[in-house]
Every structure is written in structure tokens, then in C-alpha cells.
Amino acid sequence: MSAGKIPAIAALLLSFFILRPITPLYAVPPWLHVEGNKIKDPNGNVVVLRGVDTVDLGATQLWYGGAINMINRLTNKNDTHGNSPGWYPRVIRFAIYPSDEEDFSSPFTFTPGSNTFYDTLLRPVVDYCKTKNLYAIIDWHYVGNDTWTKVSQTSEFWEYMAPRFANDSHVLFELFNEPLNTSSGDETADWLSCRTDMQTWINIIRPYAPNNLILVAGPSYSQIIGPAATYPLTGDNIVIVSHIYPGHWTGYWGDPQWYKNHITTCAAVYPVFMTEWGFCQSSSSQGLRGTVTNYGQPLMDFMEGLKISSSAWVASYDWQPPMFNSDWTLRVGEGEMGGFLKDTLYLRRNDDQPNRPAGVVVVKKCAATAGSKAGSDKISFSGTMDATADDFNEANAVKVTIDSNDIVSPCVLTFPINGKTFKVKNGMYSYSGTENKLRKSFTYNVKTRKFAFSASNVDLLGLGCPLNVRIEIDGYVGTAEIDEAIVNGPRVPIPILLMMGVKNVLRVDKCTVKQNNKKPNSDQLLVKGALAVEDTAVNMVNEEFVATLGAQTFTLPAGSFKAGKGKFTCSKAPVTESNIPAGTAAATFNFNLCSFILTIKDANIPAISGDVDFGVAFADYNEVDQVTFP
């Protein structure tokens, strides 16, 4: 698109400066690739990028408040103009006007043989986009030139740029803006003449940068793109560019169906990226006059149906068609593109977006405590994760899920992000509050990456190891598996009380054998530990009880136990081994405390060493734990 209205420039001292490097923690946009006629992410998901174009990058920097300020303006989540709470672009297209472009004379652009433009402006801008999780299009912005007249200049540009951005997953190359190439009068011949030069530049780029998407325009300001389907370019990761303005869509510049046919024909073979569209009903150019109803929304619907990516021209107040007023407030209304674009980006902010790599959560400490009654349990854990400030700034809440194989119902806690409860200070995000007796807190330091979580008066019934934690913050999803060495530390196991009524569990905390070599049948076995029973209604009074130690079996007949309040006890109960008297037993099995103690006296127990299984069986309960003897 041409510059349109260009402001008068007073005498200006140019002082080029290096933008300060910014190195916050951020998520890097993943590589994109072309598969068939779609753009996809590394996981094979279809991606549709939606965003905004800037005017000439040099002019943006020197005349319009700076490129970084422009990016901040276009990503401001607190701009409430229009019907959306903020800006949510996923791509920004940066026009770089060549020094010999007659449509507009850039105050600062690429100069062969000099690194100044790259070092002081383009590279810092592109790097800043990465911190904002934005894709960046480097657009070599000739306007209405035959490609064959600019082969050497464009070749020199891409020879310079390709190796410098080859490792930037978020950078796309737009080879040549709006070629003319219409002298033959035949659409196919025009495309072939354009294709020849585009292929030359693709061949220059690919040895340096094999992975970046390359955006290729067609003749007649990139309206003739249908022949690309029949006469394709050579190479991978190629996307065809389309530009459609109200004049094309409404018939002022020709048959609207002709333009649509070119797009749909091309889109059957190639991904299409509409790197320019826009409107302003009060524009001085008839071809740019349009409304949300007769152009904006129908065009959006058309593009979404074909999964066409797009970026809107232009983020300016005096280039045409403008999005802003001269004070940089957004132009809104039926005849304005600014509010419509911003609202559309917000509505589509989660649609067809690249899947982020899974977040990395490492839990270093965890404590779980069982309460005395249902819903009075406690859990806390802390560690590190790699969420970013943008994740928090763009999210409505932090969601923490605690799960395990046998948990009755996963514990899901939500921490609303708002000005009242979620505090932000010096890179620290923190929440602490009580809701219906549920106390919970969450803190995260984006600088150190350390987080801490706690909750009390929650229901953790059935929680066991390994314990699974999932943290979700907008598009960030991180998970961690916590084993027994972490939960409560290696010496304090997770409370078996959490398994009562859910699963049969046996844990031996102490097992000793006292042998009397001087007197037969006078050995003693003492076992202490914890247990949980799935059937809490079981009555041990009516059940035969069997304890095993290695190959030995100790049996207590039914009726040995007496029932108490939530516990069963026996004293001097007769013990048999293979129906032969083998001593007496005293035991307490306390279901309230999930504890047990068993003593067998006057037994004959052979010498034991190493690892031995100890088991308990009654009714449907039959569990074993391993004990170690010196």
C-alpha cells in the first residue's frame, strides 16, 4: 500500500541509538511450517496468524514515537477502546521501504554495506517481538514495481537478512510487496514473470534460512495469485500473499468475484496470508472506503472459512486507511477499522494458535496433611516453573489441579487474577484469600521463577503417590509428578488416612523379632504401622485374621477381636500355624487413626535377615508391605 498522506517534516536532527536489549523470561513462538495448503505448528495444529501492519519502520522509529512504543501500543491489554478489553495481535508486519522506492522516502532504511539499520533498529525490534510472543514479518516494501526492475536490490537485501534471522522461529520473510508485472495482458504470463524473480530470491534465502516461512506476492498488487496453484514455486514453507481492500471487495476496482476466485483457487494449494486489508469510510481514496457491514465482517468471514492469516494496514493516524486518531486513541465505529480490528483480534485470540511447548514445573517440596474430618485436609508445595509475566497479564485466573490415581475427586483450585486479590509488585504475583473456609495462596516470582502454593480445608480423599500437579495460566500449562521422596520428605509418608474408604493400603513402620535361643517357642514379633481399608463397614469380629512374615503364617480365628469405637482389639488371642498352636496375639486396629499394632508372643520364628514381606489378611483385605531385617 502506498504511504497516502505524508506529514510535513520539520528540520530534524537524526540521532540513531541502539535500543536497550530486553531479556525478560518469555515464551518463544514456535517454528511454523507449511503442510499442504495450511500453516501448522510443530504439533501439526493448523495455525492462523492475525495481526497488524506498521508504516515504514524507519518512519515509525523517527517520526511516530518509536518502534518499541508502537509495539507496546499494539499489544496494550488495557486499551478499552471499542468493545474489547485490550489488544491481542499474534503477528506484526514491519514495512521496510527501500531507499529507491518512489512512493515514499524513508528517513532510515536498509543500506547495503552498512549494519546500522539492522543493529540499531531492526534486530532490537524483532527481538522485542519475541518477548511479546509475537511473530514478525520483515516486509521488503516496494509498491507497484515490476519485479525484474528490482532484482539486484532485492537480492542484496535478502542476501543480508536471511542469515541474520535464520534462527529466529518467529520471523517470516515477505519477499517483495505488491509487484506490478502486468505488461503481458495475460494472467498466467504475468504470474510466471513474477514467479521467476520470486524464485530467485527464495533460492538466495534457503541456503541460509531453511525454516522461515517465505511470503510470496503475485502480480497486480498481489491480486493475481490463482495461477500459483497450477504453476507453483519450488521449495518448502512458501505462503502466497493477497491484498484486498474495499475497492476490490465491493466492486469499485472490478468484479469482486474475480478477486475471490483468485484467492480460493490459490488457497486450495497454498496457504494464503492477507498481509494487507483495511478500510475507512471517510478516506480520501474511494477504494479504501468501506464499513464493518459491507466489507470488514464479510471479509473476516471469508478469510476464516479458508483459514487465511491476515494483518491489517495500517497502525497510523495519517497513512491510509488509518486506525488511530492523531492523539493515538483508536478510531471506532461502523466506518472505522481500528475498533473492528481490535475487537476481532480479541475474539479470535485463542483460535488456531500455535500450541506452546509444555511448561516446565519442578516441585522441590511438598507437604500433605490429613484432617480429622472430611474437607479439612491440607497441602502445600513449592518449586520452579517457567511461566512469563505475559501469561499472568493475559490470564483471568491461575488454575491448580492436584490429582492421583486413586483420588476420589481431583482437587481443583482457581485463583482469580484481579486488582483486589491478586497482587503484583516487583515481578512478584501473589494471591492469598479465604472462600467458604477454604484458605489458599499462590505466589510466583517471574525473575527467580520460584512459586509456592498452599491450601487448607480441602478434600484430598484418595490422594496418594505419585501425586500429579497441573498449573494453568492462560496458554501456559505445566505439569509435575511428585513421588514419595518429595511428599512430606523421605521420612514422613503421605497420610494413609487419605485412603480410608478408597483403597486397601498397608504400611509397616516398625517390625522387630526377639528370639530366645535358650527356650523354645518363646520368640516375639512386634509390628506397627498404618492401614486403610476400602470397606470401612468391615467387622473384624466376624473374620478370621491372618498375618504373614515371609513363609510363616499366623492365624487368629474369627471372634478373636472385639469391636470398639472405630477400632478392633484383641488380647491373648490364640495363634495357630498350620493348625498347630503357635503362641498368643495382642492387637489393635484403629480405623479412625488408620493405625495398627500387632504383637505375637510365644512363637517359634526362625532367624530372619534381608527383605521380607509382611502381610495382613481379613475379609476382602489382603495387603503386603516389605520390611528389612539386618
Q: For 302-311, how does the pLDDT look when each residue is reduced to its tens digit (9 = 90+)?
A: 999 999 999 9
- Of 375-379, 515-519, 557-561, the poorest mean pLDDT is in 515-519
Q: Are residues 253 and 382 in the same domain?
A: no
The cell numbers describing 440, all together, are 489458599
> Does the pLDDT at position 12 exceed 90?
no
For residue 561, the Cα-to-chain-centroid distance in whole angstroms is: 57
Q: Are residues 456 and 310 in the same domain?
A: no
Q: Minimal CA–CA distance to 602: which of 576, 578, 563?
A: 576
Q: Are residues 466 and 522 in the same domain?
A: no
The pLDDT value given to residue 5: 34
The pLDDT value given to residue 122: 98
Does any domain span residue 469?
yes
Q: Under a CB-based contact definition with an 8 Å cutoff, are residues 489 and 497 in contact?
A: no
> Does the pLDDT at position 13 exceed 80?
no
Which element (helix H / strand E) includes 601? strand 595-603
The residue among 325, 347, 369 that closes a domain is 347
Does any domain span residue 71?
yes
Does any domain span residue 491?
no
> Does the pLDDT at position 438 exceed 50?
yes
Q: Minimal CA–CA distance to 232: which of 212, 220, 244, 214?
A: 214
Greater model confidence, 23 or 444: 444
The pLDDT value given to residue 541: 96
Q: Are residues 295 and 432 in the same domain?
A: no
Render the burial of 466-483: b for 16+ CB within 10 Å, e for the rest: ebbbbbbbbbbbbebebe
Strand partners, 34: 39
Q: Minimal CA–CA distance to 178: which of 270, 53, 58?
A: 53
Greater model confidence, 222 or 520: 222
Q: What percent of the chain has pLDDT over 90?
A: 82
For residue 26, the Cα-to-chain-centroid distance in whole angstroms is: 11
Question: Which domain range does residue 59 map to?
Answer: 33-347
> Does the pLDDT at position 343 exceed 80?
yes
Does any domain span residue 113?
yes
Q: What is the arithmetic mean of pLDDT over 83-88?
A: 93
The pLDDT value given to residue 421: 73
Ramachandran angles phi, psi of 547, nearest 5°: -115, 140
> Does the pLDDT at position 53 exceed 70?
yes
Q: What is the arithmetic mean of pLDDT over 539-552?
A: 95
Angle in degrees, CA 27, 134, 273, rounded to 5 = 135
Does any domain span residue 40?
yes
Whichever domain contains 585, its CATH number is: 2.60.40
Q: Are residues 217 and 253 in the same domain?
A: yes
> Does the pLDDT at position 22 exceed 50?
no
Q: What is the arithmetic mean of pLDDT over 506-519?
A: 92
Q: Are residues 306 and 446 in the same domain?
A: no
The residue among 482, 514, 536 that closes a domain is 482
Q: What is the arithmetic mean of pLDDT over 327-356?
A: 95
User: pLDDT tens digits for 243-293?
Assistant: 999 999 999 999 999 999 999 999 999 999 999 999 999 999 999 999 999
The cell numbers describing 301, all together, are 468471514
Q: Minimal CA–CA distance to 508: which of 629, 601, 618?
A: 629
Q: Report how far residue 121's alpha carbon sits from residue 219's, in angstroms, rounded to the nearest whole number.
A: 30
Average pLDDT, the chain: 92
The pLDDT value given to residue 419: 63
Please give the tally of structural domains in the chain.
3
Q: Are residues 505 and 436 in the same domain?
A: no
- The single-letter DSSP state of residue 493 is P
Q: What is the arithmetic mean of pLDDT over 591-613?
A: 94
Does any domain span residue 97?
yes
The pLDDT value given to residue 395: 80
Q: What is the arithmetic mean of pLDDT over 197-221?
A: 98
> Does the pLDDT at position 19 exceed 60?
no
Q: What is the arithmetic mean of pLDDT over 181-199?
A: 97
The pLDDT value given to residue 357: 78
- The single-letter DSSP state of residue 461 is T
Q: Are residues 456 and 509 in the same domain?
A: no
Non-local (6+) Cβ contacts of 258 within 8 A are none
Q: Report how far residue 146's alpha carbon sits from residue 154's, in angstroms, rounded to the nearest whole number.
A: 12
Cis peptide before 29 (omega within 30 of 0): no
Nearest 10 degrees: Cα torsion 209, 127, 242, 268: 60
Q: Are residues 419 and 518 in the same domain?
A: no
Greater model confidence, 491 or 108: 108
Handedness of CA 45, 48, 52, 53 (dihedral sign): positive
The cell numbers describing 2, all together, are 502506498
Q: What is the arithmetic mean of pLDDT over 598-609?
A: 93
> Does the pLDDT at position 21 exceed 80?
no
Most confident of 204-208, 345-349, 459-463: 204-208
Whichever domain contains 322, its CATH number is: 3.20.20.80
The pLDDT value given to residue 10: 29
Q: Are residues 342 and 459 in the same domain?
A: no
- The single-letter DSSP state of residue 212 is S
> Does the pLDDT at position 9 exceed 60?
no
Q: What percent of the chain has pLDDT over 70?
A: 95
Strand partners, 416: 397
Alpha-helical regions (H) of 384-493: 389-394
Q: Report how far residue 277's alpha carbon sits from residue 123's, in angstroms, rounded to the nearest whole number.
A: 26
The pLDDT value given to residue 630: 87
Q: Under a CB-based contact definition with an 8 Å cutoff, are residues 1 and 143 in contact?
A: yes
Q: Are residues 121 and 196 in the same domain?
A: yes
Q: Coil, strand, or helix at residue 375?
A: coil
Strands 595-603 and 523-532: antiparallel
Q: Report how far residue 303's alpha carbon sits from residue 296's, in angstroms, rounded to the nearest whole number.
A: 11
Q: What is the arithmetic mean of pLDDT over 164-173?
A: 98
Q: Are residues 338 and 369 in the same domain?
A: no
Does any domain span residue 6?
no
The pLDDT value given to residue 420: 66
The pLDDT value given to residue 422: 84
Does any domain span residue 523?
yes
